[in-house]
Amino acid sequence: MRQLIPRHLIGLLGAGAILAVAFLGCHNPASSSLPPSAISPPGTAVPPLPKGDVYADETVPTSETPIETGDTLEVVIRRGAGEEKFASVVRENGKVSIGFMEVDVGGVTAAVAEARVEEAAVPYMHEPRVQVLLKKKVLKVKRVFVFGDVKKPGMVPMPRHMTVLQAIAAADMYQETALMEEVRVIRGGNLAKPYILMADLARAFTYGDMTRNISLEENDIVFVPREHLGDASEAGKMMMPIISAAIAPLYPVFIINALSGGKL
């Protein structure tokens, strides 16, 4: 009898642990715990994004800005009373085509480029006067960042009019332990005092309430928190092999599978 009591205690504890793990694993992150009457107030209005998935980043160069591959040079060559205008893109080798001339301008400033173009034009023109205007235009892809309890965290390309729900879908959706009622959107350049918005996506999934499915802006950070029950559930899953090995001599396999929800 002394040997049976510890075994029964182990069996009861093991069965209780299995039931607890099965109960915790039943949580549905897409189900809201609020009643249907608790409709969220309208979210913070966000201005619509410009059309298109890319934008042109135009920087204003200074006198010290170096010329780089992809930059555009607008060149004016004056001789006497006339002038000729050229526009050329700097190639990967650092050269630009100005008429029939090839001039190396990679890595130099606009002032140095003017001197080089004048030097190249002297054999063909009498006292040429050159003016170079540097224009930098780079196409950038809009992006947001998704972190937390999602399947593929990281940078997500941002199409036009992207919402929090679309960003999470681009991260291959959320984990079973995600707390979808308290998704956070961190916005703003001041890292000391970030502007934080709350998105309640469980309301959207349960009642179709999309008022908290916030429109995103470029460089927003979407964070999907993890519920505390999810942490306990994960710990329970790690303990399941040990518990099942302890109670296996006492209970048939089909009972263990029934208690654990068929996860063993």
pLDDT tens readout for residues 14-27: 555 554 444 444 55
CATH T-level topology, domain 142-226:
Outer membrane lipoprotein wza fold like (3.10.560)
Rounded to 10°, the helix 4-24/228-247 angle is 150
Of the listed ranges 58-62, 104-108, 128-132, the least confidently predicted one is 58-62
Domain 55-140 belongs in CATH node 3.30.70:
no
Using pLDDT thresholds of 50, 70 and 90, give the confidence band for residue 38.
low
User: Between the CA atoms of 173, 175, 181 and 186, what dihedral angle is there, to the nearest 10 degrees?
Assistant: -70
Residue 234 has pLDDT above 90, yes or no: no
How many of the other CB atoms lie within 10 Å of CB of 216? 24
- Tell me the pLDDT tens digit for each residue of 2-14: 444 455 544 555 5
Separation of alpha carbons 11 and 249, rounded Å: 9
Q: Which residues contact 97 (CB under 8 A, 6 or more apart)?
A: 88
Q: What would the mean pLDDT of 155-184 be, rounded to a whole number?
A: 91
Separation of alpha carbons 49 and 158, rounded Å: 10
Q: Between 52 and 25, whose confidence is greater?
A: 52
Q: Which residues contact 78 (CB under 8 A, 6 or more apart)?
A: 128, 129, 130, 131
| pTM (predicted TM-score) | 0.46
